[in-house]
Structure 1
Amino acid sequence: MAKKIFIKVLLITFWCGVGFTQSSPAELYYKNGRVQKGFAKILIEVESHNKKFHETGYVQFKETKKSKSILIRLKRLDKVRILRRGKVITYEILKAYGEGDSFKAMKLLEKGKVNLYEYETKGVPGLTGNSNSVLPAPTGLASSICVLRDGEEMATRLTRNSAFSNNFREAAAYYFRDCSELVDRFKKGKYGKRNILEAVKFYNDSCQGQ
């Protein structure tokens, strides 16, 4: 009996993968218009105990704290709203250039003509921690900063973008090339990864129509 209990605990541990430490009150918005309320957390990676099953892009959800958790694929969802520490955090489900066909739960940091997002993936050597992050990332995770204009179907990464040799300021200057004043600020070093939120707010407030 003890052995069976141990195996079940081990299976659950690996299936949780990498994500938030506990479920929080949440609302799931499906692509078909359905809204489901309960408790959820974003899973960055899901893996079975024997490593025969491995995927990314899930939400672990349960309707009540006592009910059994289920896994919901991100591709079925438009967004997830999670209440954490008294604040509602919105995650929009999007694809990013350079990430293949996988959907990412992107944390919305700024909404406007250009939206600013951050999402996390399992860390790889040289990209873990908070080196590319607007906010500190948990150890072993890599954060990517993305932007998305109205009308664009996929987000563009400003960090870890091989098209610009992973140079953040070059990628940002190219993306915001329709605003010469903002491009100049990136080139002169006034804006960078740490204050990209301020840069996007500047674009949304001052650069439309240029």
Structure 2
Amino acid sequence: MKFRTIFSLFLLTIISSYGQNNWKYGELILRNNDTLKGFIQIPMINRAAIANSQKIKFKENQGGKTIRYDYTSAQKLIFKGYDGEISLFEYIRTSQSKVQLFKRIYTGNKIRLYGRMVSEVFTGQDVNGNMTSTGFYPTDYNEYYVIRKYERTATPLIKVGPFTKSFRKSAMKYFSDCPDLVTKLKNRTLSESDLPRIVKEYDQCK
């Protein structure tokens, strides 16, 4: 048990080091509706770690004090790109016991699509028995959840890691109330790479 605890901290350190320079200027909206403007760091999720922090790091300026916020105090994040594009991140419930941070990819009349980047760190030992680590760090969003407006918990359609369910089967089950869309998924007219289009078609399904 002691080894697992030390090893878990080792993995978390790797992930923390990877993301330590990824500070972006943006707005942090708290649950009391206060808005904080400053530099924000989004937590990186490591699928191989025993535990992952879901806390947002915030500081007013580059040399300022770092303050951490979780879903009990933070509501959402807003980043504005150089081209004027706005990125919205918010906490959503993924199970009865988990509330996690995602980027909102698509907002429809009856459904929303969320995505996030998840890393995988593979570990082992060298010939001397020392712990080694090989990291896979994504460059784009690779895990996606959907949630209908009346639902309290989001459903995964694409997940990272072992024992993940087939996207096609998961999508056909979730979108089963839209026969035309199910047919396109069944005959592979639409696939995993078409996810934003799939969600949009479902939103327009009657």
The TM-score normalised by the length of structure 1 is 0.71
Q: 2:173, 2:16 → 1: CA distance?
A: 38
Q: Structure 2 residue aligned with 1:65, among 39, 62, 65?
A: 62
Partner of 1:35: 35
Cα distance 1:191–1:21, how it changes in 2: closer, same or farther (>3 A)?
farther
Structure 1's 167 and 55: CA in aligned 2 closer, same or farther, altered over 3 A?
closer
Residue 181 of structure 1 aligns to a residue whose secondary structure is helix
Secondary structure of the structure 2 residue equivalent to 1:151: coil
Distance 1:104 1:34 in 2: 21
How many angstroms apart in 2 are the aligned matches of 1:151 and 1:35? 27
Matched with 2:167 is 168
Instruction: Report SS of the residue matched to 2:43.
Output: strand
SS in 1 for 2:142: strand
- Give 1:43-58 correspondences, 5 Å limit: 43-44=43-44, 55-58=52-55
- 1:172–1:17 distance in 2 versus 1, CA, 3 Å: farther
1:6 corresponds to: none
CA 1:119–1:142: 2 relative to 1, 3 Å:
closer
Q: CA RMSD in A?
A: 3.1
> Which residue in the other structure is 2:6 paired with?
none
In the alignment, what sits opposite 2:111? 114
Shift of 1:62: 0.7
Deviations 1:24-61 (A, max 9, x none): 12111222222211110201259xxxxxxx64101111
Q: Structure 1 regions of 5+ residues with no counterpart?
A: 1-12, 47-53, 131-136
Superposed CA offset, 1:63-89 (max 9, x none) = 123312222224422211123444321
Tell me how many residue pairs correspond in the alignment. Answer: 175
Deviation at 1:16, TM superposition (A): 3.5
Distance in 2 between residues matched to 1:89 and 1:188, nearest whole Å:
34
Taking the aligned partners of 2:57 and 2:177, their CA distance within structure 1 comes to 40
Q: Decide whether aligned partners of structure 1 residues 148 and 194 sit closer, same or farther in structure 2, where only a CA change above 3 A counts.
A: same
Q: CA deviation at 1:158?
A: 0.6
Question: Which residues of 2 match residues 127-146 of structure 1 at below 5 A?
Answer: 137-138=138-139, 143-146=142-145
- 1:105 equivalent to 2:104? Answer no
1:93 partner SS: strand
Deviation, structure 1 residue 92:
1.5
Structure 2: gaps spanning 5 or more residues: 1-12, 123-134
When residues 142 and 23 of structure 1 are mapped into structure 2, their CA distance, relative to the original with a 3 A threshold, is closer
- 1:3 counterpart residue number: none
Q: Deviations over 1:169-196 (max 9, x none)?
A: 1101111111100111111111121111
Question: Hey, what's the Cα distance between the residues in 1 that align with 2:157 and 2:198?
Answer: 13
TM-score of the aligned structures, taking structure 2 as reference length: 0.72
What CA distance in whole angstroms lies between the structure 1 residues aligned with 2:121 and 2:38?
33
Question: Using the alignment, how far apart are the partners of 1:23 and 1:184 within structure 2?
Answer: 43
One-letter identity of the residue aligned with 2:97: D
1:107 & 1:85 partners in 2: Cα distance?
Answer: 18
| Cα separation, partners in 2 of 1:21 and 1:74, compared to 1, 3 Å | farther
Secondary structure of the residue aligned to 1:67 is coil
CA contact (8 A) 1:60 1:69 kept: yes
Task: Give the residue type in structure 1 aligned to 2:92.
Answer: L
| SS of equivalent residue, structure 1 residue 123 | strand
| SS of match in other structure, 2:158 | coil
